[in-house]
Structure 1
Amino acid sequence: MNDGGLEDPNDEEACREAALTLLDAAARPRKALYERLTGKGYAPETVEGTVKRMEELGLVDDESYARSYLRYCLGRNLGERGALREMTRKGLETSLAERVVAQAAERGLFVDSAYELGRKLARRTRGMDPQVRKRRLWSAGGRKGHNPSLIRQVAGDLFADSHDET
């Protein structure tokens, strides 16, 4: 037995079963599936063949995963940098993540995300000093990876007159 506890790291059927179990639990991009299977002790060439087969069957589709994960990121009110960071952390290739994020940016989805973040923060900070509200927006926007100029625009639009009709 090897360190991963497998009897045979070249067992294609066991590797395929492990891949299906992982994919049953959650969709995964190619790289993440590869890393999980090699981490379980399967030989890299066995894993590569298994991952390719999963792609041929349509069970692993990085493009589809990227678009789905982008929706998740937007639901969390992440900005361009935040979405890109999360997508690459999940195992998507940087070039694919950059392309999907750029397409979303062209469609104005990150502007919508920033304004939604601003509206949520405005509701939670209603009645506070306008400067405190703006600082909190700046802080949240920075953590979520929004463009500073976009956060400045949102702050100006939502907290411009410091009244609480937001």
Structure 2
Amino acid sequence: MIDAESFLASNPPRRRVEEQADGDGLQEADPGDPERAEKEGPHGRRPRRSGGRRGRIPRPGGFGLASSSGEGQHRDDADDPVACREAALTLLDAAARSSGALAERLRKKGFQSQVVDDVIDRLLQVGLLDDRSYAEDLLRSCLGRDMGERGALNEMTRKGLPRSLAQEVVAQAAGEGLFIDSAYELGRKVAAKTRGLDMQVRRRRLWGAGGRKGHDPGLLSQVAADVFGSGDPLD
């Protein structure tokens, strides 16, 4: 049987590109380095350490992810309103956004805050941004997913809508009984999926699903009583 030293002598490892964990760039490994060959073993691979992470490949141009503080990458046109407006329109072409979400994306792209604010204000003035229309569309989406009042409010603020506007739209929907309809629709779906299971299990499933979707506990109690209290209405 051929030993490792003889194998290496007749099959020298090929040159390969190795990631540098410190992000300084790419460096070619020297196959003739005896210390590296000893560390990498007979097949030219460094043993993987359990629980460790591989280094990340540097991004083209040397830019990393935007920081959590909202500071984005450096750019030469950071104070150019025309470039900022073009970037904003490109983002809006890709997907509808609230003014808050759009402003955050532009700042992460490296545009100055004052320039971003001016561009957002102008887009709102000419109607290319409409937070109320976006909020109403988002409300319909939330109701389509059987979400409750709290869940819809959280979703709207998460999407960058002003909290005052989100509260107004959600309150109007609540006044129209839309979240009651949503809760009962959720109850019917849970009842259909859990038919044949123990009643306590079915009730827990409803409470769990309703809680995740942000429904009011009192409303869930009423739905549970109506859906499971006197027999399954879907039977």
TM-score (norm 1): 0.94
Take 1:153 and 1:57, find their aligned partners in 2: how far apart are those partners?
46
The Cα shift of 1:5 comes to 4.2
Give runs of aligned pairs for residues 155-166 of structure 1, distance below 5 A: 155-163=224-232, 165-166=234-235
1:20 counterpart residue number: 89
Q: How is 1:116-135 mapped onto 2 (pairs within 5 angstroms)?
A: 116-135=185-204
| Structure with higher helix content | 1
- Contact 1:69 1:87 survives alignment (8 Å): yes
Q: Distance in 2 between matches of 1:141 and 1:20?
A: 38
Deviation at 1:162?
Answer: 3.5
- Which digits, 9 at most, give the CA deviation of each residue in 1:34-93, with x for residues without a partner? 111011000111111111111122111111111110111111111000000111010011
- 1:84/1:101 contact within 8 Å kept: yes
Distance 1:102 1:164, change over 3 A: closer
Q: Displaced runs of 4+ in structure 1, greater than 2 A?
A: 161-166
Identity over aligned pairs, percent: 60
- Whether 2:155 is the aligned partner of 1:86: answer yes
How far did residue 164 of structure 1 move? 6.5
Q: Distance in 2 between matches of 1:163 and 1:123?
A: 9
Partner residue of 1:52 out of 109, 121, 136 = 121
The question of whether the paired residues in 1 share the 8 Å contact of 2:153 and 2:170 is answered with yes
The equivalent of 1:148 in structure 2 is: 217
How far apart in 1 are the matches of 2:193 and 2:140? 24
Aligned length: 165
Distance in 2 (alpha carbons) for counterparts of 1:65 and 1:31:
12
Correspondence for 1:96:
165
* Among 1, 4, 8, the residue aligned to 2:77: 8
Give 1:119's aligned amino acid: R
**Pair 163,96 (structure 1): closer, same or farther in 2 beyond 3 Å:** closer
Quote the Cα distance in structure 1 between the aligned partners of 2:142 and 2:232. Answer: 30
Residues 98-153 of structure 1 show CA distances to partners (whole Å, capped at 9, x for unaligned) of: 11100000000000000010111111001111111111001111111101111011
Q: Which of the two has higher C-alpha Rg?
A: 2
More off after superposition, 50-59 vs 145-154: 50-59
